A and B are shown apart, each in its own frame.
Chain A
Amino acid sequence: MLNTETMRPRGPIVIDIENITKHYVMGEETVHALRGVTLQIHRNEYLAIMGPSGSGKSTLMNMLGCLDTPSSGRYEFNGKDVSAMDDDELAAIRNREIGFVFQTFNLLPRATSLRNVELPLIYAGIDPVTRQERAAQTLRDVGLGERLLHKPNELSGGQRQRVAIARALVNNPSIILADEPTGNLDSKTGEEIMALLENLYQAGNTIILVTHEADIAHHARRTVHLRDGLIESDALSEATEIQTLAFT
């Protein structure tokens, strides 16, 4: 039996990180959060980043999400050097290329689902009519067609995360960066969200999952383990690996 996974041609490189480090000065101590990480992520990969707390997982995620710049090393996003960009250039990259899904959803509490999803489009300068159409369509795509005008406090946890995923998707980003997306959900709802992410992956999106739960990481096709600011292992998931071996 052939796994469709292995038959996919590898897409172009989206993220190309070479030997990046990050250190923070905290009082008299210097914390080395990343000590030299090299990583390449291709289009339409489904990648999980795992590691215990203090492993540099969050720092790497901030780096990948262009929320922070490395202390040293090279970071190219779609061929553009990100490590030297200023705040506003990074904001533009985040707006166009990256869709964030947070553990705590981070929706604007007083805005409807529709307005929450519209937000990245406002920052992208899309006109109001197109904005509303696209936001509504994306919400329908994640199964919230009936909840366009509900506010977050009128939605369940799973529905809130769906709104957040719609918000991440609405600008057609190059990657979706999900940070513990099921961390605040019960396991059943968590599974539904993972199924949604799976669908998105199948539809051609690139997904990066940051988690400390093996169960969740299991959904990804490739897992990167971090420990003490270094990559400990970078491997295709078990099932995939076996089939890849069988294929070769």
Chain B
Amino acid sequence: MKRFLYELTESWKIAAAQMYANKTRSMLTALGVIIGIVAVTLMGTAINGISTGFDKSMAVLGDDVLYVDQQPWIRKDDWWNFRSRKKIKTEYAEQINRMIGAAPKSNLLIAVPASSWFRSVKYNENQVNNVYMLGTTSDFLAISTVDCAKGRFFNEIESRGGANVVVIGYDVADGLFPSENPIDKMVLINGQPFKVIGVNTRQGTFLGLFSWDSMVAIPLPAFKRYFSAQSESEIRVKVKDKTKLAESKDELIGYMRRVRELPPEKDNDFAINEQQAFKSTLDPVKNSIAVAGLFITGLSLFVGAIGIMNITFVSVKERTKEIGTRKALGARRRTILLQFLIESTALCLVGGLIGLTFAFFMCLAIGKALPSFPIEISLGLVVTSMIVSVLTGLVSGFAPAWSASRLDPVTALRYE
């Protein structure tokens, strides 16, 4: 055991001396690993970022909220089958709330109506197009995961009365009021004046999906007054205990069948959606991106590994006589194997560390240049890339180290 330790320290010293003696060659070889590690680390970071982005976007939907819609979010059948269904009416929310109130053991907390459509919002010269406009009640606060950065959400009185007030998303505020405080300003939605009473905190956008920052919310009666012609409605229902989502869903289906007055033999003509359904559809996509991305960047690391393997073979060839001498002095096969494995590993480790440093600064730069792109470097990723570089060194150094350890001492000593 002790001998193994001495041989190990000796091998590290030799590796360092070897790298120092062949600086140019070592640097060029390490460059392959550096590029590989930078590519893999950046890809890993991006995948992490995408994953966090997805999760963050999903979190806005809330993992304890059920969505009653005309159609399921993820359609398995023909779209036409769902098109003929009756629309979801905002009045259902009150009916469901009454049923929840009548059932003391209900898993459901509250049902909130939400109508939506896309509209442009204007303030003086500034205009933001394609804003997701939500008509809802003050109960929305209970189910929302979005807070107000400035001002407030509309209250019950404004909600019932259908006051011309609006709560705007961060990006809308940014677009309309680049240098002013938006609170108490009048904006025009479809030509109708609305007073801004709140601005949401920034949610961050992700690849253009679920851009909750470009949302505005107005009281439902106001929405109906101006935009009911074309709109889609849904009922959002918050559950009490998100671990009992399945039971809650069954309860809600029961209520909805009563609301829709469906006889037992008829199928549901509505859909209960939840965040999880989205996730399970998006996860395979996310995973394919991850696999494809890591595979492609992994190739560059593979090329780096071939460089390491090549240089270790050269090193073994050059130092055949030295190997012979060491064997004559009592070095065993394992000792020689270890020495060359450590040399290739040391080279990869140096490459990995330099690569990681580069990747770190590149991440910082990307983060500065594209704040919306979700990129994050984690400790796990650092550890992983270090492990990857060590493994690369071990794998690529193995064949040459093995051949060195099997050299016949007589032949090796005679080698010129």
B-contacting residues of A (Cβ < 8 Å)?
Answer: 62, 65, 67-68, 87-88, 91-92, 94-96, 100, 102, 106, 108, 110-111, 119-120, 122-128, 167, 171
Contact = CB atoms under 8 A, between A and B. Distances in A.
Contacts of B413: 67, 102, 106
Contacts of B328: 65, 67, 94, 100, 106
A68 B327 contact: no
Contacts of A119: 326, 329
B17 A110 contact: yes
A108 B322 contact: yes
Contact of A88 (B322, B329, B332): B332
A8 B298 CA distance: 72
12 contacts: A67-B410, A68-B408, A87-B332, A94-B327, A94-B329, A95-B330, A100-B328, A106-B325, A110-B18, A120-B330, A123-B332, A125-B6
Per DSSP, are chain B's interface residues mostly helix, strand or loop, or mixed?
A: helix
Given A62-B410, A67-B409, A106-B321, A87 B333 contact: yes
A122 B6 contact: yes
Nearest to A126: B6
B331 A123 contact: yes
B338 to A, nearest CB: 12
B3 A123 contact: yes
A111 B14 CA distance: 9
A127 B408 CA distance: 29
Contacts of B18: 110
Interface-centre pick from B7, B21, B329, B409 (highest chain A CB count, 10 A): B329
- Which 4 residue pairs are nearest across A and B when measured between Cβ atoms? A95-B330, A125-B3, A123-B330, A106-B325
B330 A92 contact: yes
A141 B334 CA distance: 32
Contacts of B330: 91-92, 94-96, 120, 123-124, 171
Contacts of A128: 6
B86 interface: no
B10 interface: yes
A126 B9 CA distance: 13
Interface string B1-24: 011001100100000011001000
A121 B333 CA distance: 17
Contacts of A94: 327-330
A116 to B, nearest CB: 10
Nearest to B18: A110
